[in-house]
Amino acid sequence: MSENVTDTMITLNNGVDIPQLGLGVFQTPDGQATSQAVTWALQAGYRHIDTAMIYGNEESVGQGMRDSGLKRRDIFLTTKLWNDDIRAGRTREAFEESLDRLGTDYIDLYLIHWPAEGWQQAWEDMEELYTQRRVRAIGVCNFQKHHLEELHSISSTKPAVDQVESSPQFVNQELIDYCHGELRVDVEAYSPLGGTGGSVLTDPRLEAICRKVDRSPAQVILRWHIQRGLIVIPKSTHKERIEENARVFDFVLDEDDMRTISAMDSGVRHGSDPDNFDF
């Protein structure tokens, strides 16, 4: 087991390596808050940043990447195609706009953000970007089993990932098992700590495990995700938390601990339902 966040990769179904832990920047304010968070993360050894057009901070993500002094090719960068652009058939334009804001000429992973009307055409357009090597991998977010089945029936290109909500509060295991099964699609856990404003991190059911392994609730939860084989993208704007969240490759949870955390599942989402969203 590698103990270093920098070297812990998962190989996606198209052969591209992705660092298993990345920094999410949803609700991280544009400007210095984002550029600093990105630079702190890269200094702490992260090599994977997860943003989206709709987060409104792509420029600052690009700034933080440049401020880190790392080479572009040493960072795995994800951004996402927003729903309005999907509905308007603007995949190509939206992609170029994201590249401009990020100050880069390729994206490592480009994702459909939600299964908005028109996603089938958007997928075809993203396949073209992939074939043209403008992106190293393409995938989806918030796709349920039936969306994945439809995608499989219309396209020979498998999504490299499905980025979906998963946390001790909303484990989402059935969908994850489906992806990890014969489909061979990796899953990225979003809102892995229960999301901003959530109560997962203060759940008393984590206390005994935290004492036993001498780690914080956030570290225990992130470790639980990692041992489930997920890619995980916690968000924080605080330097010490960003560093803390990366120190999850040098301890192990036993089967009882894993079961205890999985049993916290209430089936209640923090975010929106992919089968019923209005944005």
Ligand X SMILES: NC(=O)c1ccc[n+]([C@@H]2O[C@H](COP(=O)([O-])OP(=O)(O)OC[C@H]3O[C@@H](n4cnc5c(N)ncnc54)[C@H](OP(=O)(O)O)[C@@H]3O)[C@@H](O)[C@H]2O)c1
User: Is 19 among the residues that bind ligand X (CB under 6 A)?
Assistant: no
Q: How far apart are CA 256 and CA 173, in angstroms?
A: 17
- In the residue annotation, 55 being an active-site residue is answered as yes
- How many angstroms separate the CA atoms of 144 and 187, rounded? 12
Rounded to whole angstroms, the Cα distance separating 196 from 95 reads 28
Sites for ligand X among residues 77-136 (CB under 6 A): 113
Which of these is catalytic: 46, 55, 110, 190? 55
Q: 78: number of CA atoms within 13 Å, CB side? A: 34
Look at residues 127, 108, 128 and name the one whose alpha carbon lies nearest to residue 61.
Answer: 108
Given 163, 166, 172, 260, the residue binding ligand X (CB under 6 A): 163
Binding mask 50-69 vs ligand X (x if CB under 6 A, - otherwise)?
x-------------------
Q: Is 41 in the site for ligand X (CB under 6 A)?
A: no
Shortest Å, Cβ 174 to ligand X: 19
Residue nearer to ligand X on the CB measure, 158 or 247: 247
- Our finding on whether 195 is near ligand X (CB under 6 A) is yes
C-beta closer to ligand X: residue 103 or 198: 198
Q: Cα dihedral angle (204, 206, 210, 216), rounded to 10 degrees?
A: -90
Candidate list 190, 215, 230, 231; residue touching ligand X; CB under 6 A: 190
Helix, strand and coil content of the chain, in percent to the nearest 5, comes to 45, 15, 40
Starting from the edge strand earliest in sequence, which strands make up the sheet with 107-112, in order? 23-24, 48-50, 76-81, 107-112, 135-141, 161-165, 186-190, 231-232
CA distance 235 to 241: 9
Q: Least distance from C-beta 194 to ligand X, angstroms?
A: 5
- Check binding of 36 to ligand X (CB under 6 A): no
Q: Which residue is nearest to ligand X (CB)?
A: 24
Site for ligand X in 233-252 (CB under 6 A): 233-238, 241, 244-245
Smallest separation (angstroms) from ligand X to the CB of 189: 8
Q: Of the candidates 12, 21, 25, 94, which one interacts with ligand X according to CB under 6 A?
A: 25
Q: Which is nearer to ligand X, 129 or 222 (CB)?
A: 222
Helix residue ranges per DSSP H, the chain:
32-43, 58-67, 83-87, 91-102, 119-131, 145-154, 173-178, 207-213, 217-227, 239-246, 255-262
Q: Which positions touch ligand X (CB under 6 A)?
A: 24-27, 50, 113, 141-142, 163, 190-196, 201, 216, 218, 233-238, 241, 244-245, 271
Could you list the active site residues? 55
